Amino acid sequence: MRRREILALTYIGLTGLLSVPIIFSNNAKIDKEPKREYALESIVQQAPKIEEKTVPAVPLEEAILEIQTIKGTIPSQIERIDTLTIPKSIIDVELQKYNNQVSYALKKSKKEKVILINKLECTLELLENEKVIKRYDIGLGPNYLEDKQMEGDGKTPEGIYSIDFKLGEGNSTFYKAMHINYPTKKDKDEFKINKKSGLIPKDAKIGRDIEIHGHGSGKKGNCEGFNWTEGCIALSDSDIDTIYNMTRTGTPVVIVRYSNVKY
């Protein structure tokens, strides 16, 4: 997903459940967006009072946090469309899923070290006894805020995985690597469903060789610069040295899109 700038985020301050319209554009210099017609127009016209607020143009990642502040949570997915309306019920379900996975990682860390990757924050954390003992900035694929669906989509998979083998210096294209057991049975089942429903091409392949590896810049990917992997997680060589020596084959790896769990 290319880095984009958000022009304006408008929400309606009404009692009850309403969706949030979000307007994206690649041109951050435009100050105003032409008036649009929304599905809730008839409801809004009948409302006794309408409160409209506009947030100045900010980077996409900051816009997501603005939505979190306004709605009390984070949107489930950023779509490549001009106008996006996200029902709060979907937002809550998606956030709860990721929060549950983070809670699993924290609980698991009482018995062994766990790698937790937050794609929105572009961070890899090593957990032990429910505490962060190491934290690194990472690079991801260009479509890092989406779950992997097939080979070549530039997306990093989301879910609960583990390191199934490690590659030392001289055996990896990217200095050192820790291979993740993607695809799992869950990934394969979802892949079949997506292909059958037409969400992905019939000749698509599921993808493989997702790794935590070296040759990264040591900076956040799309959060600050450029994401270049095909779905892997890239660390600097010095950071991969440290994490490589502190983990083993079988170490759990939990990958979430975002979360608001405090720990």
Domains and CATH numbers, the chain: 5-86 (no CATH), 101-256 (2.40.440.10)
**DSSP letters for the chain:** ----EEEEE-EE--SS---EEEEEES-TT---------TTHHHHHH-S---EE-PPPEEHHHHHHHHHHHHSS--S---SSSEEEE-HHHHHHHHHHHHHHHHHHHHHTTTS-EEEEETTTTEEEEEETTEEEEEEE-B--TTTTS---STTS-----EEEEEEEEE-TTSSTTSSEEEE--S-HHHHHHHHHHHHHTSS-TT-------EEES---SS-STTTS---SSS-EE--HHHHHHHHHH--TT-EEEEES------
CA distance 151 to 166: 22
Strand partners of residue 233: 212
Q: What average pLDDT score do residues 40-45 get? A: 40
What confidence score (pLDDT) does residue 88 get?
Answer: 67
CA distance 180 to 147: 15
Q: How crowded is the C-beta side of 158, counted as CA atoms within 13 Å? A: 26
Query: In which band, very low, low, confident or very high, does the pLDDT at 225 lie, cut at 50, 70 and 90?
Result: low
Q: φ and ψ at 25, to 5 degrees?
A: -155, 150
Tell me the per-residue pLDDT of 44-78, one tens digit each, with 9 for 90 and over.
Answer: 344 444 344 443 444 444 444 444 444 344 433 43
Q: What average pLDDT score do residues 81-89 get? A: 51
Q: What average pLDDT score do residues 179-208 get? A: 96
Least confident of 95-104, 125-134, 226-235, 238-247: 226-235
Percentage with pLDDT > 70 across the chain: 64
pLDDT above 80 (res 8): no
90 against 6, higher pLDDT:
90
Q: What average pLDDT score do residues 108-131 get? A: 97
142 against 71, higher pLDDT:
142
Q: Which residues contact 41 (CB under 8 A, 6 or more apart)?
A: none
Q: What average pLDDT score do residues 26-43 get? A: 40
255 against 79, higher pLDDT:
255
Q: What average pLDDT score do residues 83-88 get? A: 54
Q: What average pLDDT score do residues 148-164 get? A: 96
How many C-beta neighbours within 10 Å does residue 15 have?
A: 8
What confidence score (pLDDT) does residue 34 get?
Answer: 41
Least confident of 44-48, 133-137, 230-234, 259-263: 44-48
Q: How crowded is the C-beta side of 45, counted as CA atoms within 13 Å? A: 6
CA distance 188 to 181: 12
Cα–Cα–Cα angle for 91, 23, 50, rounded to 5 degrees:
80
Query: In which band, very low, low, confident or very high, does the pLDDT at 113 lie, cut at 50, 70 and 90?
Result: very high
How do 52-53 and 114-118 pair as beta strands? unpaired
Mean pLDDT of the chain: 76
Query: In which band, very low, low, confident or very high, does the pLDDT at 213 lie, cut at 50, 70 and 90?
Result: very high
pLDDT above 80 (res 180): yes
Contact 200, 194 (CB under 8 A): yes
What confidence score (pLDDT) does residue 42 get?
Answer: 41
The alpha carbon torsion through 227, 233, 234, 239 (nearest 10 deg) reads 140
